[in-house]
């Protein structure tokens, strides 16, 4: 995964998008993050950048931290929020490019995930570029945490011609596009949506372990 490139491109798209959003769009609730509006999701992204650069937060950030990030930017216009985010980004990219610990990849996961959350809220097409690299990062981390001798699923990204086997294998075979698999792993699909994906074998024994973040409350399409 190229963290600098993924983060930079996602941020550039999001800031360009923000410049064309009216008040109604900015006030739209984000179904993937139902406690936030589009504007508040931008505030979180700016706040996480600032916190990581300042060294006051080590990703992943807790719910309390993300709530603070949003609250601190309450009342600021979207242009001000984006200006702050843009100003802090060179220092963050320096960290992303020089620090190899997994936690310094999490801001990349965050920005790409929330970019698609925002697109879903606004009825825009998903951003699928880099989904395969992010899926590999997520499954590699999940594989390290999976008990070595425990049966685990095989996961195949049908559009990337790649497969991963977790644990000792022998479990069900889960197939989908890299985007759909990654969104499911990041809690952006309900358990019912995941179970309805392309499986060979019974997914029930492994489903609880396949959301790295709390599963969405309502079905999402992006």
pLDDT bin (cut points 50, 70, 90) of residue 73 is very high
Domain end, chosen from 77, 96, 122, is at 122
pTM of the predicted model, to two decimals? 0.95
- The Cα–Cα gap between 85 and 139 comes to 29
Residues 90 and 172 in one domain: no
Residues 109 and 18 in one domain: yes
**74: domain CATH number?**
1.20.120.450
Residues 98 and 46 in one domain: yes
pLDDT at position 174 is: 97
Q: What is the pLDDT of residues 91-147, one digit of tens each?
A: 999 999 998 887 889 999 999 999 999 999 999 999 999 999 999 999 999 999 898
- Domain range enclosing 49: 3-122
**166: domain CATH number?**
3.30.1050.20
Residues 154 and 84 in one domain: no
Please list, residue by residue across 22-53, b when 16 or more beta carbons sit within 10 angstroms of its beta carbon and e when fewer do. Answer: eeebbebebbbbeebbbbbbbbbbbbbbbbbb
> In percent, how much of the chain has pLDDT > 70?
100
Mean pLDDT of the chain: 94
Domain end, chosen from 82, 101, 122, is at 122
Q: What is the pLDDT of residues 172-193, one digit of tens each?
A: 999 999 999 999 999 999 999 9
Residues 145 and 110 in one domain: no
């Amino acid at each position: 995964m190229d963290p600098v490139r993924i983060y930079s491109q996602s941020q550039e798209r999001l800031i360009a998008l923000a410049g064309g959003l009216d008040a109604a769009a900015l006030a739209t609730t984000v179904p993937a993050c139902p406690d936030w509006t589009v504007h508040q999701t931008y505030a979180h992204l700016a706040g996480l950048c600032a916190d990581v650069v300042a060294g006051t937060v080590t990703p992943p950030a807790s719910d309390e931290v993300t709530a603070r990030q949003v609250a601190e930017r309450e009342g600021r216009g979207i242009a001000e929020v984006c200006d702050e985010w843009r100003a802090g980004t060179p220092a963050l990219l320096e960290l992303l490019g020089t620090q190899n610990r997994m936690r310094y990849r999490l801001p990349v996961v965050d920005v790409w995930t929330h970019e698609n959350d925002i697109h879903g809220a606004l009825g825009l097409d998903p951003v699928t570029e880099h989904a395969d690299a992010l899926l590999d990062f997520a499954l590699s981390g999940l594989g390290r945490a999976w008990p070595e001798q425990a049966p685990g699923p095989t996961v195949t990204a049908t559009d990337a011609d790649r497969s991963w086997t977790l644990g000792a294998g022998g479990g069900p075979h889960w197939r989908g596009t890299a985007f759909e698999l990654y969104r499911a792993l990041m809690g952006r699909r309900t358990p019912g949506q995941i179970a309805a994906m392309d499986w060979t074998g019974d997914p029930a024994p492994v489903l609880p372990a396949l959301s790295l973040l709390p599963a969405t409350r309502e079905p999402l399409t992006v």
